[in-house]
Structure 1
Amino acid sequence: MKKKILIWGGSVLAFLLVLVVVLFIFRSRVLQYTIERVITKVENKYPADLNIGNAEFVDWNSVVLNDISFVPHNLDTLFTTDSVYATVSFRSIFKGRIVFKRLEVRDGYLTARKNGDVTNFAFLFKKDEPEEPVDTTKGRNYGYLLNRVIETAFDNVPDQVDFTNLNASYKSPNRFIDVRMPYLRMDDGYIESQVSILADSIENNMRVRGTIDPGDYNISASLYAFDKKGIRLPYVKRKYEGEVAFDTLHLSLNNKRYKNEKLTVKGRAMVDNLVVNHAKLNDEDIVVNESAIDYVVTLGEDLFVIDSATEVRVNEAKANIYAAYESKPTKIYDLQVKTDWVKANNFFNSLPAGLFENLDGIKAQGELKYKMNFHLNMDSLDYLTFNSDLDASKDFKVVQWGYTNLEKINGSFVHTVYEYGKPVRTFNVGPSNPFYTPISQISPHLRNAILTAEDAGYYSHKGFHEEAFRQAIIKNIEEGEFARGGSTISMQLVKNVFLSRKKTVGRKVEEAIIVWLIENQNLVPKSRMFEVYLNIIEWGPDVYGAKDASRFYFGKEPSELNLNEAIFLTSIIPSPKRYRSSFDSYGNLRSHKGYYYRLIGGIMRRRGLISQEEYDNLYPNVKLYGRARDLIVTAPDAVEEDTTEYELETIDLLDF
């Protein structure tokens, strides 16, 4: 038996040797036959000519192809290269597929052109066969698609790569892109390249270094700018009206797993000296010296999840983030942010430069911890969840103010009003200003009406009213625009005293941090904050503060305001520049004000802020005097007093 096996084995070995010899002898014919088949297949599929000037073996498994071009019919040449040198894995041939062990390309040019509807590349993406019917009950599985891309890319990575002078360009009547790669080398898993990209009038010159392990789907790469301009992202300004630049970018994919039709990828990204500029974020450049993310991301059918193991670092501050989006059967959004205890100084030092001007330079002792939870089901808006908590250790304390002393509103200070970024009026907030009014000299009707309409829980909360903010989010989603803010009086005060009025993300975050510091550290008493608020808010054309408003509209002192006048002044706080829209040409309040009077008056009655008799005698009308009357009353036959009677119906309102 052993002898038979040896004989059989020897026969097989001899056959293989003969096969190898035959392949070696006829390899040139096999190569030419293969090339002809490739050319025929390509030219049958595309309206183009594939030309290969010469092809020959230089050793047992290495091939050189010269003068290659791909030319669409009656269009500009799409691709040319002088030579391609390829070494093929002998084992892969027997597996029915070709894997390159070494690949060299010299002087390659990819030139894409577009003029109107005519291009020299669009034919590559056209489908000859009719598309299969789409199953509308199933969404697109991006996890499956990305997994295919990753596996195809990694499975076809050669052991060695040496590209020299590769060029690519795209040109249309309104856009030009030019990419130049002097070299790209990969050997034993190490990658090195130099790339220059000109796009959207922005030129980036960078070097790329990294490592790759195709067997484990691992890749790590670093992009370095080798000039003082840094690396700037093109088209951000054109498409998003912003700018993004950085010095160095590190990217890695460390692990991937595809299971149950879901792809999970893990890796890391780091950016040094990131600069972001966008009008909706902030007026100035936002600079982050160091930022990083260790990510765990899962993609599936109609599913995108950033796992809670994902850690984001901004300078010295770290946070774990969980985010999820499901599109079917309904759209569901989830976002959670959580930090461990972080030293207060590390927190303030980590705030991006240029984002929070008033907080620059703050020094503090103790520790801080933050937690936020947001959940939204688009089919159940009423169940929207939003919780945000910033906690401080018992020993937390601000020991040094930076650019702005947040305690300045405890005493007299100079206040400047800005509109569209320009100062329009400056006045002192304190006794030296004749228009300044202590809170005790302002009508209780005005104080109570403002608290009822703007912030009913002002004296009980710590600067934030989460339910009001939750309702504002719901309202804005329903309206499809920013229709409601959910700001407390504390937030409005901080916005007016310390911040610009531009609705930017940076301003809202800075506003929240300042409010938290003032309220949670008891920097300013509640009554003082409300007093300052009543003395600086806008109430009309160059009208600021309760005394100025009382005289402008009614020719009286703030202490003399009656209930009707107080509710009117409260009604125009959200839009003071539209004060004239509240009146007709005779100086009478328009009918739509009736609902507002019923709403605010009804809440004040139920809370015991006014009597039933006062509510019964409440009607939406006021008598204008002074400058306001001259600006509002335009009817030639208008009289001094309107005697129109209004009947207010009692309505049931939710107490909030």
Structure 2
Amino acid sequence: MKNRILAWAGGVLAFLLLLVLLLFIFRSRVLSYTIDRIVAKVENKYPADLNIGNAEFVDWNSVVLSDISFVPHQLDTLFTTDNVYATVSFRSIFQGRIVFKRLEVTDGYLTAVKKGNQTNFAFLFKDGETAEPADTADTGRNYGALLNRVIETAFDNVPDQVDFKNLNASYVSPNRTIDFRMPFLLVDDGHIESEVYVRTDSLVNNMRVRGTIDPRDYRIATSLYAADTNGIRLPYIQQKFDATVAFDTLHISLDNKRFRNDKLTVSGRAVVDDLVLNHPKLASEDIQVSESAVDYVVTLGPDLYVIDSLTEVRVNKARANIYAAYENKDAKIIDLKVKTEKVPANDFFGSLPAGLFENLEGIKAKGWLQYNLNFHVNMDSLEQVVFNSDLDASDDFRILEWGNTNIEKIKGSFSHTVYEYGKPVRTFTVGPSNPFYSPIGEVSPYLRNAILSAEDAGFYSHNGFHEEAFRQAIIKNLKEGEFARGGSTISMQLVKNVFLTRKKTVARKVEEAIIVWMIENLDLVSKNRLFEVYLNIIEWGPNVYGAKDASRFYFGKQPSELNLAEAIFLTSIIPSPKRYRSSFDSYGNLRNYKAGYYRMIGGIMRRRGLISQEEYENLYPNVRLYGRARDLIVTAQDSSVVEEEDTTQFELESIDLLDF
């Protein structure tokens, strides 16, 4: 019996040895069969030729593939490499097919080329050669479907283990050239590590990359670290948007992907350290953010782009939930909602990015703040714009210490400098020591009431903002496609003139709103004092600032002596004081178009009880010039008629008609 067992075991062992010997002898045929299947699978899927010059075993379970190229039909070669060293699964040999466990690729070259509308890579992201092209005439392009194909193509081709040495990639088009160089790229059981050198025209980024990837669930988490002191700078931002975006470190992840009903929804997280932004429309200086993060949920579909309300944005310690949507199916519809939880006031001010709000830097405060914004517009019905903006504070909110600028300086005398095109042109004291200073009681009621009627009828009743005026300004700006109207109150104009630059940037407008909110809601300065300062600093002509200076310049009298017609004239040129000459002909007479403005402002003042019916009926659209203004304006020596410049519409649009 024992001998039979030994004989049987010997027979099995001999059979296994023979089988192994046969597999060893025929493994080259198994390898060739596997290579043929891979080539056939690739070439059936893509309109391209996959060429493998030679494939052979170099030891028991190691294979070298050489002279590999991937060439799209009738297009430039997309990829070449000298050789690929692969470790073969021993079990797969017994199964009659080769499974590569680990790939080592040396000297790989990926060359993407665009010539006109033709590329040698776009086919990789298409569903197949037989798929009908999408009809974009009516539905527009579905970027969700496109991005979904890009993600799936990229993830589906990630091997379990790969070691690239000297991997090179380039993109060449008539307009630009991008070169990538990776001294190494290691993917090992879901872990990624690489060094990347990217040259985009003249911009060079040196980065280290580390992360993890799970191709089966379309999950990736990657960190990019600057490998030098220049940081990581985004290319083409300067060229395309006149902006700069740079950072030291970026951590970004894709945690979930879902594609249903032609809509792609992706979610994940991005964290940026030491972010620097620069754009002339944002701020005049670099905007620096120590740490910013976003937990995002984004949906893309046909004519639809949505940032879900679950998206949370963090700037330093301040957090906000964002909802934004753009729909372009039947009409262009834009929605934006911003909501914060109660933020400690110190965290709010401490989180403001450096370089964005110079006057607010360094403020110390107590209490909490909370902000909500709701904006909706249908571009086919602009009159229905929705705009609500609210900044709430706790009852104990207080400013404990001012930072770069003491906002309360306008309570008393202070030095004011006027800037034009970023350069100082005049400095004067706003206070009794200035002989051209006028207390509010020494300014004609006609002038005060005319200005309030034209510029901000609700000045004494609102808290610094007029949402309906803002709404109307948004409507006008959207209609004209440019920043044509700002919806500013007198409080906002005052803050702009005293504390801020004249540059029309997003940062200046936001800083203006915050300062106005503090002044009005903390009762830092009385309404009368705000109006008094406003009357003493606004521009009224060539180097003419304040009501007393203007009264003397145009009429040779004190501001308390101004009559109704003179007051309305001075009010009319506040929106554009440098165009004061256009109001007159060469004889010093007001041009005819001024009559409409006079009737409008006079009518408003009459209806509000600021002037009598008799004063309105006797109002005549003309003034008598004296002094320096007459010398500059009156130039005619004969009775020639000067063609009038029609600025009526400009002047009427500067008035908030909704306050009438």
Q: TM-score range by the shorter chain?
A: 0.7 to 0.9
Q: CA deviation at 1:70?
A: 6.1
1:383–1:274: structure 2 CA closer, same or farther, 3 Å change rule?
same
Question: What is aligned with 1:64?
Answer: 64
Question: What is aligned with 1:203?
Answer: 204
Contact kept? 2:68, 2:80, Cα under 8 Å: yes
Question: What is aligned with 2:263?
Answer: 262
- Determine helix, strand or coil for the equivalent of 1:460: coil
Greater CA drift, 24-33 or 543-552 = 24-33
- Determine helix, strand or coil for the equivalent of 1:415: strand
1:526–1:513: structure 2 CA closer, same or farther, 3 Å change rule?
same
Greater CA drift, 524-533 or 68-77 = 68-77
Q: CA deviation at 1:130?
A: 11
| Letter aligned with residue 203 of structure 1 | V
Q: CA deviation at 1:380?
A: 1.7
Measure the CA separation in 1 of the matches of 2:38 and 2:116: 30
TM-score of the pair, normalised by structure 1: 0.87
**Per-residue displacement from partner, 1:392-420 (whole Å, max 9, x unpaired)?**
10111001111111000110000000111
**Per-residue displacement from partner, 1:511-545 (whole Å, max 9, x unpaired)?**
11100110100000000000000000001110000
Question: What is aligned with 2:277?
Answer: 276
Residue 33 of structure 2 is aligned to residue 30 of structure 1 = yes
Greater CA drift, 475-484 or 259-268 = 259-268
- Determine helix, strand or coil for the equivalent of 1:382: helix
Question: What is aligned with 1:155?
Answer: 156
| Letter aligned with residue 55 of structure 1 | A
Contact kept? 1:99, 1:158, Cα under 8 Å: no
Question: What is aligned with 1:581?
Answer: 582
Contact kept? 1:100, 1:159, Cα under 8 Å: no
Question: What is aligned with 1:544?
Answer: 545
Q: CA deviation at 1:583?
A: 1.6
Question: What is aligned with 1:604?
Answer: 605
Q: CA deviation at 1:454?
A: 0.5
Q: CA deviation at 1:34?
A: 5.4
Question: What is aligned with 1:618?
Answer: 619
Measure the CA separation in 2 of the matches of 1:244 and 1:36: 43
Question: What is aligned with 2:83?
Answer: 83
Question: What is aligned with 1:630?
Answer: 631
Contact kept? 2:39, 2:50, Cα under 8 Å: no
1:168–1:215: structure 2 CA closer, same or farther, 3 Å change rule?
closer
Structure 2 counterparts to residues 112-131 of structure 1, below 5 A: 122=119, 125=122
Structure 2 counterparts to residues 102-501 of structure 1, below 5 A: 102-111=102-111, 122=119, 125=122, 132=133, 134=135, 136-170=137-171, 175-501=176-502
| Letter aligned with residue 203 of structure 2 | I
| Letter aligned with residue 552 of structure 1 | F
Greater CA drift, 544-553 or 253-262 = 253-262
Measure the CA separation in 1 of the matches of 2:432 and 2:162: 78
1:39–1:287: structure 2 CA closer, same or farther, 3 Å change rule?
closer
| Letter aligned with residue 491 of structure 2 | S
- Determine helix, strand or coil for the equivalent of 2:314: strand
| Letter aligned with residue 169 of structure 2 | A
Percent of matched pairs sharing the same residue: 74
- Determine helix, strand or coil for the equivalent of 1:379: coil
Q: CA deviation at 1:591?
A: 2.2
Q: CA deviation at 1:602?
A: 1.3
- Determine helix, strand or coil for the equivalent of 2:599: helix
| Letter aligned with residue 105 of structure 2 | V
Measure the CA separation in 1 of the matches of 2:91 and 2:483: 63
| Letter aligned with residue 30 of structure 1 | Y
**Per-residue displacement from partner, 1:49-71 (whole Å, max 9, x unpaired)?**
97643233557987532133568
Measure the CA separation in 2 of the matches of 1:616 and 1:98: 101
Contact kept? 2:61, 2:90, Cα under 8 Å: yes
Q: CA deviation at 1:125?
A: 5.0
1:303–1:41: structure 2 CA closer, same or farther, 3 Å change rule?
closer
Q: CA deviation at 1:360?
A: 1.1
Contact kept? 2:458, 2:659, Cα under 8 Å: no
Measure the CA separation in 1 of the matches of 2:590 and 2:528: 32
Question: What is aligned with 2:648?
Answer: none
Question: What is aligned with 1:643?
Answer: none
Q: CA deviation at 1:610?
A: 1.2
Measure the CA separation in 2 of the matches of 1:519 and 1:580: 36
Contact kept? 1:167, 1:181, Cα under 8 Å: yes
| Letter aligned with residue 222 of structure 2 | A
**Per-residue displacement from partner, 1:422-462 (whole Å, max 9, x unpaired)?**
10000010011010001111111110111011101000011
1:161–1:480: structure 2 CA closer, same or farther, 3 Å change rule?
same
| Letter aligned with residue 105 of structure 1 | V
1:99–1:382: structure 2 CA closer, same or farther, 3 Å change rule?
farther
Measure the CA separation in 1 of the matches of 2:593 and 2:609: 25
Measure the CA separation in 2 of the matches of 1:293 and 1:309: 10
Contact kept? 1:593, 1:620, Cα under 8 Å: yes
Measure the CA separation in 1 of the matches of 2:629 and 2:418: 21
1:619–1:92: structure 2 CA closer, same or farther, 3 Å change rule?
farther
**Per-residue displacement from partner, 1:563-618 (whole Å, max 9, x unpaired)?**
11111111111111111112222222222222222221111111111111111122
What residue ranges of structure 2 are gaps of 5+ in the alignment? 1-18, 641-656
Contact kept? 1:553, 1:629, Cα under 8 Å: yes
Q: CA deviation at 1:350?
A: 0.2
| Letter aligned with residue 316 of structure 1 | K
Contact kept? 1:100, 1:157, Cα under 8 Å: no
What residue ranges of structure 1 are gaps of 5+ in the alignment? 1-16, 640-652
Question: What is aligned with 1:534?
Answer: 535
Contact kept? 2:245, 2:276, Cα under 8 Å: yes
Contact kept? 2:307, 2:323, Cα under 8 Å: yes
- Determine helix, strand or coil for the equivalent of 2:486: coil
Equivalent pairs, count? 620
Contact kept? 2:359, 2:405, Cα under 8 Å: yes
Contact kept? 2:371, 2:390, Cα under 8 Å: yes
Contact kept? 1:200, 1:235, Cα under 8 Å: no
Measure the CA separation in 2 of the matches of 1:133 and 1:308: 31
| Letter aligned with residue 147 of structure 1 | N
| Letter aligned with residue 520 of structure 1 | N
Measure the CA separation in 1 of the matches of 2:132 and 2:394: 62
1:153–1:635: structure 2 CA closer, same or farther, 3 Å change rule?
same
Measure the CA separation in 1 of the matches of 2:408 and 2:457: 24
Question: What is aligned with 2:16?
Answer: none
1:577–1:166: structure 2 CA closer, same or farther, 3 Å change rule?
same
Greater CA drift, 249-258 or 196-205 = 196-205
Measure the CA separation in 2 of the matches of 1:25 and 1:110: 29
Residue 527 of structure 2 is aligned to residue 511 of structure 1 = no
Q: CA deviation at 1:463?
A: 0.5
| Letter aligned with residue 82 of structure 1 | D
TM-score of the pair, normalised by structure 2: 0.86
Contact kept? 2:31, 2:98, Cα under 8 Å: no
1:212–1:235: structure 2 CA closer, same or farther, 3 Å change rule?
same
**Per-residue displacement from partner, 1:355-392 (whole Å, max 9, x unpaired)?**
11111111111111111111111122111111111111
Contact kept? 1:337, 1:371, Cα under 8 Å: yes
Contact kept? 2:437, 2:536, Cα under 8 Å: yes
| Letter aligned with residue 447 of structure 1 | R
- Determine helix, strand or coil for the equivalent of 1:426: strand
Question: What is aligned with 1:645?
Answer: none
Question: What is aligned with 1:642?
Answer: none
